């Protein structure tokens, strides 16, 4: 069943992202003091940023951490609007937050990952936004659940929010990975292909969890054809009260945006999203990574089976088991339109490697005795 297109105003109609790609939102994780907010905003204004972010209410994992400055910080954001002409954005997690933002003339709000995971809160926020014209960005939920993310968009859309966009910040994972959150680009790409009309931002700061990864994640996101970035920047990241390891100074952000990032030529002037050769290649890279991950996971299980066979004196190759598995995958592959010979070559190679690993385990173990 095709997804129902959402009624969305393209980014060019939001009145805040006038620059060529990428569209950037930048600013500190948290508004901490008036001085920190103003100094960071000044630096960002100088490098050409138009939209300033700062968390006013902070969802922290542990109580007792800095949980945001609250309503007084909204006055500092008003000062940023007035002194530097920047648009300002903050996170909302309740109807009360929305009411305060509307009262203080905040230009845009976003829904954080922990809130998107909760349909009650998303509905409460959607109801509070009904009848307003304020742009809303929806971060992906912390868990890799595309439908939950889409459900949040549907709730906002039904409430009449038309300046609606998404932010991809990666998903919590128990696996040991280089980034703080798992990018799961496949989920992001699925969202993009199901709802190409929705403006798409990536948040390399929360995805990477370290300033070292901001450039590579941003580049990857642009190569995939995603048009926006939300990046944390702080006038003095070392002293930041939250997320100090992942924030850039305005100067570092300037180097990245002006000198390091490669922006590929746009396909056309239209707002329509189309894939160019870079995006198609970047998609292949995502799929290759998933194939490697799947192969490595399969091999890991083969190893465990090897241990079991060793401990229970079971033969490594059990022909009947392999024959039925082989027939099943080859049949499945042909249903997907994959050539039979190719399927046979691939799965024979996988089987051989698996037998080899199990042989190694058994000979290793025998030498222990």
- Residue 176 CA to residue 319 CA, distance in Å, equals 35
How near is the Cβ of 148 to ligand PEP at its closest, in Å?
A: 14
Q: Which does 139 bind (CB under 5 to 8 A by kind): ligand PEP, Mn ion, none?
A: ligand PEP
In order of 324, 325, 349, the CA distances from 320 in angstroms are: 6, 9, 18
Interior CA angle at 167 toward 164 and 172, to 5°? 140
How near is the Cβ of 74 to ligand PEP at its closest, in Å?
A: 16
How near is the Cβ of 312 to ligand PEP at its closest, in Å?
A: 46
CB-count burial class (<10 Å; 0-12, 13-18, 19+) for 208: buried
The residue ranges of DSSP E strands in the chain, in sequence order, are: 23-27, 51-53, 87-92, 108-111, 136-139, 164-168, 200-202, 228-232
Does position 206 interact with ligand PEP (CB under 6 A)? The reply is yes
- Residue 186 CA to residue 144 CA, distance in Å, equals 10
Q: How many residues bind ligand PEP (CB under 6 A)?
A: 10
Binding mask 210-249 for Mn ion (x = CB under 5 A): ---------------------------------x------
- Continuous H helices in 138-194: 146-158, 185-194
Q: Which does 32 bind (CB under 5 to 8 A by kind): ligand PEP, Mn ion, none?
A: none
Q: Which of 97, 163, 168, 169 binds ligand PEP (CB under 6 A)?
A: 169
Q: Which of 22, 112, 183, 237 binds ligand PEP (CB under 6 A)?
A: 112
How near is the Cβ of 232 to ligand PEP at its closest, in Å?
A: 7
C-beta of residue 26 within 8 angstroms of C-beta of residue 52: yes
For ligand PEP, the closer of residues 29 and 77 by Cβ is 29
How near is the Cβ of 206 to ligand PEP at its closest, in Å?
A: 4
Q: Which does 169 bind (CB under 5 to 8 A by kind): ligand PEP, Mn ion, none?
A: ligand PEP
Does position 55 interact with ligand PEP (CB under 6 A)? The reply is yes
- The 3-state DSSP class for residue 174 equals coil
Residues 29-48 that bind ligand PEP (CB under 6 A): 29
Does position 214 interact with ligand PEP (CB under 6 A)? The reply is no
Q: Among 327, 263, 329, which residue's Cα sits nearest to residue 294?
A: 329
In order of 49, 115, 257, 369, the CA distances from 214 in angstroms are: 17, 24, 11, 50
Q: Which of 24, 37, 113, 134 binds ligand PEP (CB under 6 A)?
A: 113
Interior CA angle at 228 toward 115 and 150, to 5°? 40
How near is the Cβ of 207 to ligand PEP at its closest, in Å?
A: 8
Does position 29 interact with Mn ion (CB under 5 A)? The reply is yes
For ligand PEP, the closer of residues 25 and 330 by Cβ is 25
- The 3-state DSSP class for residue 66 equals coil
* Token output for 231: 């990046």
C-beta of residue 182 within 8 angstroms of C-beta of residue 4: no
How near is the Cβ of 22 to ligand PEP at its closest, in Å?
A: 17
Q: How many residues bind Mn ion (CB under 5 A)?
A: 2
Sites of contact with Mn ion (CB under 5 A):
29, 243
Sites of contact with ligand PEP (CB under 6 A):
29, 55, 59, 91, 112-113, 139, 169, 203, 206
């Amino acid at each position: 069943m095709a997804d129902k297109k959402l009624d969305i105003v393209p980014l060019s109609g939001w009145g805040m992202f006038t620059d060529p790609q990428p569209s950037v939102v930048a600013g500190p994780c948290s508004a901490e003091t008036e001085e920190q907010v103003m100094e960071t905003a000044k630096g960002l204004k100088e490098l050409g940023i138009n939209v300033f972010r700062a968390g006013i209410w902070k969802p922290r994992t542990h109580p007792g951490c800095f949980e945001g400055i609250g309503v007084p910080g909204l006055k500092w954001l008003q000062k940023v609007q007035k002194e530097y002409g920047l648009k300002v954005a903050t996170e909302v997690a309740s109807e009360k937050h929305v009411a305060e933002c509307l009262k203080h003339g905040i230009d845009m709000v976003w829904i954080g990952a922990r809130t998107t995971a909760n349909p009650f809160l998303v509905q409460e926020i959607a109801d509070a936004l009904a009848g307003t014209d304020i742009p809303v960005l929806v971060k992906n939920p912390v868990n890799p659940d595309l439908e939950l993310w889409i459900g949040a968009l549907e709730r906002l859309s039904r409430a009449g929010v038309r300046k609606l966009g998404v932010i991809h910040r990666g998903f919590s994972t128990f696996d040991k990975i280089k980034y703080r959150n798992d990018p799961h680009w496949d989920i992001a790409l699925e969202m993009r292909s199901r709802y190409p009309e929705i403006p798409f931002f990536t948040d390399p700061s929360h995805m990477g969890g370290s300033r070292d990864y901001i450039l590579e994640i941003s580049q990857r996101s642009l190569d995939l054809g995603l048009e926006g970035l939300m990046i944390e920047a702080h006038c003095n990241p070392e002293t930041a009260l939250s997320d100090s390891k992942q924030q850039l100074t305005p100067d570092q952000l300037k180097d990245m945006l002006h000198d390091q990032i490669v922006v590929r030529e746009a396909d056309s002037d239209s707002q329509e999203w189309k894939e160019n050769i870079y995006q198609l290649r970047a998609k292949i890279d995502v799929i290759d990574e998933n194939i490697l991950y799947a192969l490595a996971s399969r091999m890991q299980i083969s190893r465990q089976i090897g241990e079991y066979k060793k401990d229970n004196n079971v033969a490594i190759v059990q022909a009947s088991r392999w024959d039925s598995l082989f027939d099943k995958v080859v049949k499945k592959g042909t249903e997907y339109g994959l050539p039979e010979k190719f399927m046979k070559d691939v799965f024979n190679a996988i089987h051989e490697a698996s037998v080899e690993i199990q042989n190694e385990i058994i000979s290793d173990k025998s030498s222990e005795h």
